[in-house]
Structure formats: C-alpha cells, structure tokens
Amino acid sequence: MSRKRLLLLSNSMNYGQEFLEHAVSDIKDFLGASVKRVLFVPFAGVTRSYDEFAAAVSGRFSEMGYTLDPVHSASDAVEAVRQAEAIAVGGGNTFHLLRELYEWDLITVIRERAERGVPYIGWSAGSNVACPTIKTTNDMPIVAPPSFDALGLVPFQINPHYTDEQLANHSGEPREQRLAEFLKANPAATVVGLREGSILRIEGGEIRLLGEKTARIFRAGEDAKEYGPNDSLAFLLNS
C-alpha cells in the first residue's frame, strides 16, 4: 500500500486574504505535531531571490509553529532532502522550478522520500510538479528543463488555478479548450482542474478534495465532470 502523504494546493493567495491564509488549518492538520521542521524548495521563484521567497514563506510557517529550512541554503541539498521531516515546494514558474530540480539533482530523492511517507506540500507550480509531467501548467516556458517529466507522485495531471472564466471582449482560448488540446495529444491522461482555494489531500490510497469549490475532471472522449468535497475521488489514484 502507498505511504505517500501529499497536500496539493491550487494557489497560495486567495483574493482578499494573506499568503496561505486559506490553507493554514489544513496545513497544520496535515503536518501535525510530530513535524517541527519543513524543508522549503523556492526554485519556482524568478522575480525575487530564493532568500526573499524563503523569508516570506518562513514567516507564515513560523506562525503555524514550524521552522523552515531553505534547501538552497543547505551545504548538501540532496542530503537535506534525505533528512527532511517534511518538504514544501512553492509556486511561481513551473518550468523554472523543474529545471532547477534537475540541476540540483533533487528529482529522484524527493520522489523517494515522498514515496516513503515524508509529507509533501506543494502549491501552484509545487502541485503541478507533483504530477507525471508539467504539461498542464499555465506558465510561460521561460527556461527549458531537460524534460517535462516531473516527480510523478500522483498518476494524474493537475491544472492549478483552473477557471471557467472567459474575459469579455477577449478571443483567446478558454482553459477548457487548452486542456482539450492536451488530452487530444495525451489521450491516456486524466486532468484535475483545481480551482483557487481548493486542495487535494492524499493519504496512501485515499484522496479528498478540501475547500468549498468543486474540481473539474477531464478525460479524453468524455464530457468534463464536476466533483465536490463529498464525492469519491478514489478513481484518480488509479488513473
């Protein structure tokens, strides 16, 4: 049986709320009292330094009772992952995040640790990189990672910040059409459109949708379907 423990957030900022404010209770419940230190991966940050990103996240985690250790500050990043009590991967640009994970040689070790039950928290790009690939990110490819293959902690794809909105007087493709294109090219995949404020919590063979909104599930050749927090999502783990 899988030992993986994952908390995958669509976003870190809800409109009208502070950084991670909407997820504080879920993060504390997920990590519990046994975890004291969280290893933070800031590699999705681009317009601010890793130190600045880590400082902002550290403040919020400190308020929750956890000490944050930035992986980029460790003398040996791989060993830091091996010793981590929990791992958090922040949002930003997914292509930049994945490239850095490869360059720092952290793909395999993060995957191994998560598979052994070390808690993994990701938001936005940090959730997308938990998927088999990053092909369902919304980000511009500002850099080229050596592969689109990511951590593969879940068997399905996530589209963070999913929205049904269509801008007025704007003829660009809506998100659903973009995901239809992805499924046309990748017909075996399943995509979870994770709306802002929503979280997927995975404990071994169980998965729950947290928050007040529904998630939209996309599969090739099928109409997209809405699933709420009280619906069973176990089928996603067998995608």
Which residues are the active-site residues? 124, 139, 161
Q: How many CA atoms lie within 13 A of 172 on its CB side?
A: 8
Tokens representing residue 193 in the block = 């459109």
Tokens representing residue 138 in the block = 């919304």
Cα 91 to chain centroid distance, Å, stands at: 8
Burial class (CB in 10 A: 0-12, 13-18, 19+), 120: buried
Phi/psi for 39 (5° steps) reads: -85, 125
